[in-house]
A and B are shown apart, each in its own frame.
Chain A
C-alpha cells in the first residue's frame, strides 16, 4: 500500500505542459515559448515537456482574456484534457482582461468559465514568474493525483 504514494510523488516529476491561447496578444505566449526553449530557463529540468496534443497534457497554461469568438473552442479544448489536470492563468488578461478590459469582445475574468488554480499576473509575466507558477501548479497537481 505504501507504494502508491511513492509512485504519485514520482509522477509529479513529469508534468507535461499545454498552452491555450484564449485570444492573447501573443506577448505571454512568447514568454512561455521562451521559458521552454532557451537554455537559460530550460523547463525540461523540471521534467516538463510541451506537448502538441491536449490529450497528453497535465498542466494547462492559459493566456489571453478569453474573447467571445474563441470561448467555445477554449472550453472544448479544456474538456479534452484528461483528469487530473491543473490550470495556470498566465498574464493579467485572464484575471481582469488587462488592457482589453471593458471591451465588448472580451469575457474576462476567465475563471467564470474555467476553474483556475494558479494566477501568474504580469503584462507579460517574467519567465521566472511562469516557472514559479508551474512549480506551484505541480504542488497542487500532487494532491489531485
Chain B
C-alpha cells in the first residue's frame, strides 16, 4: 500500500507531475530567451511559457465540424497522462529511484511512443488536410527513429547485464547503479556508437528543428495542432514540455548518471546536466540548422542512426 502511495506521489509531485511540468516550462522559457539573445533580440520574459498556458486556459475551444469530437478532445489527455507516468519512471541519481515494479526501460520505451501516436490520432481526428499531412509525416518519422531507440536501449541493457553477470537488465536502477561503480557509459568507447545514435534520436522524438517535420510551422502550420485551440492546445504544450524533461533525463540516466551520493548534490548535478544538455543539444541545434524534408530525414535515420545503433549492439555483444 505504501508502495502505491509512493508511486502516486512520484507521478503527481516530484519527478513527475508538478515538478516536471514547472521544470519543463521553465526550460522552454530559457530556451526561447537564449535563442532570442543569440539572434540579438530582447526575447520574451523567462516565464513566457507559463503565461501562454494560462492564456490558453481563457480561450474557447472550437471543434471543427469535420472532427470526431470525443477523440479530438480526449487524446491529448492520454498523452499528458502517459508523460506524467513516464516522468515518474526515470531515476535521478541519488535523488529519486523509481519503484522496482515500474522502473523498467521497456515500459519507458512504450510510454515514449504514446505522444507521437497521440499527435497522429489528434491530427487525423481533426479532419483537416494539414492534420492528415502531419499524421503521415509523424508516422514516417516514428518508423525511422523507433528502431535506433530500441537498439540503443538493448545495447545499454546488455552492457549493464553482462557487467552484472546476467545477459541483460532493463531495470533503470541497476543501469544507474552499475555506472556509479564502473564509470559512465559516456566515457566507455564501446558505448560511443550508442551515444551518437541517441544524439540523433532525441531531436526527432522531441520535434526540434532539423526533425520538426510533422509540425513544421511554415509548411503545414503545426500540422496536427492546426485545429486545436484553448485549453486543449494547452494540454499539447504541457505534453511536449513533460516529454522534453523525460527524454533528456532518460539520456542522462542511460549514459551519464554520475552524481555525488547526497540528495542536494545529486539534484544540483542533475539540474546542471539538464541545463547544459538543453542549451547545447536543443537551443544551439535548433538555431543553427534548417528543416529536413521528410524523405531526407527518413533516409538519414535509416542510414546513420540505425547503422550506429546496430554497430553499438554488435560491439556490446562481442566485446
Residues of A with Cβ closer than 8 Å to B? 7-8, 10-16, 39, 42, 44-45, 47, 49, 51-53, 55-56, 58, 80, 82-84, 145
Checking B61, B221, B230 against A52 with a beta-carbon cut-off of 8 angstroms, the contacting residue is B221
A12 to B226, CA, bound (A): 22
- B180 at interface, CB cutoff 8 A: no
Closest to A7 in B: B54
| A53-B221, A84-B59 as given contacts; A47 in contact with B42, CB under 8 Å | no
Q: Is the CB of B61 within 8 A of A82?
A: yes
Q: Is the CB of A84 within 8 A of B44?
A: no
| A44-B41, A47-B48, A53-B221 as given contacts; A10 in contact with B54, CB under 8 Å | yes
Q: Is the CB of A47 within 8 A of B44?
A: yes
Closest to A55 in B: B229
Cβ–Cβ < 8 Å partners of A58 in chain B: 55, 59
* 0/1 string, B121-153, CB within 8 A of A gives 1: 000000000000000000000000000000000
| A53-B225, A55-B229, A82-B229 as given contacts; A45 in contact with B61, CB under 8 Å | no
Given A82-B61, A84-B59, 18 more contacts at CB 8 Å? A10-B55, A11-B55, A13-B45, A13-B51, A14-B48, A14-B51, A15-B55, A16-B55, A42-B36, A44-B36, A44-B43, A47-B45, A52-B217, A52-B226, A53-B221, A55-B227, A55-B233, A82-B60
Cβ–Cβ < 8 Å partners of A42 in chain B: 36, 41-43
Q: Is the CB of A55 within 8 A of B218?
A: no
Q: Is the CB of B60 within 8 A of A14?
A: no
Counting chain A CB atoms within 10 Å of each CB, which of B42, B225, B227 scores highest? B42
Closest to B233 in A: A56
| A52-B218, A53-B221 as given contacts; A14 in contact with B226, CB under 8 Å | no
- B40 at interface, CB cutoff 8 A: yes
A92 to B221, CA, bound (A): 29
A58 to B229, CA, bound (A): 10
Least Cβ–Cβ distance between A84 and chain B, in angstroms: 7
Least Cβ–Cβ distance between A142 and chain B, in angstroms: 11
Cβ–Cβ < 8 Å partners of A53 in chain B: 221-222, 225-227
The 3 closest A-B pairs by CB, nearest first: A52-B221, A14-B55, A55-B229
Cβ–Cβ < 8 Å partners of A8 in chain B: 58
Cβ–Cβ < 8 Å partners of B221 in chain A: 52-53
Counting chain B CB atoms within 10 Å of each CB, which of A42, A53, A82 scores highest? A53
Cβ–Cβ < 8 Å partners of B58 in chain A: 7-8, 11, 84, 145
Checking A11, A39, A44, A51 against B57 with a beta-carbon cut-off of 8 angstroms, the contacting residue is A11
Cβ–Cβ < 8 Å partners of B3 in chain A: none
Least Cβ–Cβ distance between B134 and chain A, in angstroms: 12
Least Cβ–Cβ distance between A136 and chain B, in angstroms: 18
- B52 at interface, CB cutoff 8 A: yes
Cβ–Cβ < 8 Å partners of A44 in chain B: 32, 36, 41-44
Cβ–Cβ < 8 Å partners of B229 in chain A: 55-56, 82
| A80-B62, A84-B58, A145-B58 as given contacts; A52 in contact with B222, CB under 8 Å | yes
Checking A14, A45, A83 against B41 with a beta-carbon cut-off of 8 angstroms, the contacting residue is A45
Q: Is the CB of A11 within 8 A of B54?
A: yes
